[in-house]
Amino acid sequence: MNKKKKKIDSVSVHSFSKGADLFFNIIVAIFAISCLIPLFFVVVISLTDENALATYGYRLWPKVWSFAGYRYLATMGVELLRSLWVSILVTVVGTLINSTFTSTYAYAISRNTFKYRRFFTVFCLITMLFSPGMVANYIVVTNFLHLKDTLWALILPMAVSPFNIIVMRTFFKRQVSESIIESARIDGASELRIFTQIVIPLAVPGIATISLFAALGYWNDWFNALLYIQSDNLIPLQYLLMKIQANIEMLSASSGMGSQFGGSLLAIPKEATRMAMVVIATLPIAVSYPFFQKYFVRGLTIGGVKE
């Protein structure tokens, strides 16, 4: 009798577990679709004829297809490609520098043998909670470091992330055992060799996570370009797209001032161009994300647990 009751209970628990899994899978699928619909909507609008947008409004499937928005951006082909190259260069170099500084700093404060780990941990937390402000940052970058109108002005202000340091510190404490480090020291390995040959292979998920955060920050950054860049040859993609948007708005505001502005305005597919700019700015990150995904979840969940 008891065996039969246990079997029934086991079947009930298993059925409940399958039902719960199905329910949560449906919820997650709905959430995922709700995240993809806006992106799909943006792509569709970027491929919709401007007159069709004015006549029929925004639709999930356009009445008239058009590449006018992308053709308008293609008229700035040389400038667009140059800005794209600047953004790629800043993102790649900046991500490498940010990941290196963040990982080494976090590894140092994660080791109990480091004498000043408490001081540097508190120092990191203070910089995360309190910011000196835009004026102080501008004075340091331009007057002290003399980085104005250079690519380093787009890289160095974001070279260290306190939040990523805290995430990596927790990751190192949980994933890199002190006994492994002590064994390597007994064998005569230097600290640099321990870090490069033992710690880094164990910390790939965490490093991939902070690298993705850093790459997103560099790729989407336009404010530093607004502050420090004056040369057209050093403008990143995001800032160039903002300038194009500002030019379109200026033409819209000036459309009543004369036929010249009115004709220019009519020739520009405003809404399609705006959405095409969003697609161009978003597509590289969306394409690169799947390569980080297998490390991203593990690194974020392990590094996000407070010790």
Instruction: Compute the distance between CA of residue 57 and CA of residue 51 in angstroms, rounded to an integer.
Output: 9
Q: What structural domains and CATH numbers belong to the chain? A: 68-303 (1.10.3720.10)
Q: What is the pLDDT of residue 22?
A: 80
Q: List, for residues 102-145, the tens digit of each pLDDT value.
A: 999 998 888 888 888 889 888 888 888 887 788 888 888 888 88
The pLDDT value recorded for residue 96 is 93
What the block records as the tokens of 261 is 């502005």
d(CA 83, CA 79): 6
Residue pair 90/236 in contact (Cβ under 8 Å)? The answer is yes
pLDDT given for residue 101 in this prediction: 92
Q: In this model, does residue 263 exceed pLDDT 70?
A: no
Contact between residue 164 and residue 102 where contact means Cβ atoms under 8 Å apart: yes
Instruction: Classify residue 269 as exposed, middle or buried by CB count within 10 Å of its CB (0-12, 13-18, 19+).
Output: buried
Instruction: Name the CA radius of gyration of the chain, rounded.
Output: 26
How many CA atoms, within 13 angstroms, populate the side-chain half-sphere of residue 78?
2
| pLDDT classification of 94: cutoffs 50, 70, 90 | very high
pLDDT at 261 over 60: no
pLDDT at position 298 is 55
- Please name the residue that has the structure tokens 């955060």: 213
- Residue 183 pLDDT class (50, 70, 90 cuts): confident
pLDDT at 14 exceeding the cut of 80: no
**Residues belonging to the chain:** 307
198 is written with which tokens? 């033992």
Q: Which two tokens stand for residue 70?
A: 């992308």
For 65, the 3-state DSSP assignment is strand
Q: What integer pLDDT is reported at residue 93 of this predicted model?
A: 94
Vertex 247, ends 243 and 253: CA angle to 5°? 140
